[in-house]
Amino acid sequence: MASVTMTVNGKSVTATIDPRMLLSSFLREHLRLTGTHVGCDTSQCGACVVHVDGRAIKSCTALAISLDGAQVTTIEGLAADGHLHPMQEAFREHHGLQCGFCTPGMIMSAVDIVNRKGAMLDEHTIREELEGNICRCTGYHNIVKAVAAGAQAMAATKVAAE
Partner 1 sequence: MSATGIGAPVRRTEDFRFITGKGQYTDDINRAGQAHAYFLRSPHAHAEIVKIDASKAKAMDGVIAILTGDDLAADKIGGLICGWMIHNKDGSPMRAGGHPALAQGKVRYVGDHVAVIIAETYQQAKDAAEAIDVTYKTLSAVADIDSALKKGAPVVHDVAPDNTVFNWHLGDKAATDAAFAKAKQITKLDLINNRLVPNPMEPRAAVGDYDAGTGVFTLHTTSQNPHVARLVLSAFIGIAPEHKLRVIAPDVGGGFGSKIFIYAEETVCVWASKKVGRPVKWTSDRTEAFLSDAHGRDHVTHAEMALDDKGRILGLRVNTKANLGAYLSTFSSSVPTYLYAPLLSGQYNIPAIYCEVDAVYTNTAPVDAYRGAGRPEATFVIERLVEVAARERGEDPALFRRKNFVTQFPHQTPVIMAYDVGNYSASLDKAMDMADVKNFGKRKKDSERNGKLRGLGYSAYIEACGIAPSQAVGSLGAGVGLWESAEVRVNPVGTVEVLTGSHSHGQGHETTFAQLVSDRLGIPLDQVAIVHGDTDKVQFGMGTYGSRSGAVGMSAIAQALDKVIAKGKKVAAYALEAAEGDIDFKDGRFSVKGTDKSLAFGEVALQAYIAHKFSGQQLEPGLKETAFYDPTNFTFPAGVHICEVEIDPDTGVTRIDRWTAVDDFGVVINPMIVEGQVHGGIAQGVGQALLEGAHYNKDGQLVTASYMDYTMPRADDLPSFAVGMTSTPCPSNPLGIKGCGEAGAIAAPPAVINAITDALGHENISMPATPQRVWQAAQQSQRKLAAE
| Interface residues toward partner 1, by CB under 8 A | 18, 20, 28, 32-42, 44-45, 47, 74-76, 78-79, 84, 88, 91-93, 95, 97-104, 107, 123, 126-128, 130-131, 133-144
Per the DSSP assignment, residues forming a β-bridge with 4 are: 15
**How far apart are CB 41 and partner 1 at their closest, in Å?**
5
Q: Which is nearer to partner 1, 67 or 102 (CB)?
A: 102
Per-residue b/e over 34-50, b at no fewer than 16 CB within 10 Å? ebbbbbeeeeebbbbbb
Q: Which residue's CB is nearer to partner 1, number 6 or number 144?
A: 144
Min dist. Cβ of residue 109 to partner 1 (A): 10
d(CA 61, CA 117): 24
Rank residues 69 and 114 by Cβ distance to partner 1 and give the closer one.
114
Judged by DSSP in three states, 11 sits in strand
- For residue 54, the minimal CB distance to partner 1 (Å) is 19
Q: Work out how close the CB of 162 gets to partner 1 at its nearest, in angstroms, rounded to a whole number.
A: 26
* Sheet with 11-17, edge to edge strand ranges: 11-17, 2-8, 71-73, 49-52, 55-58
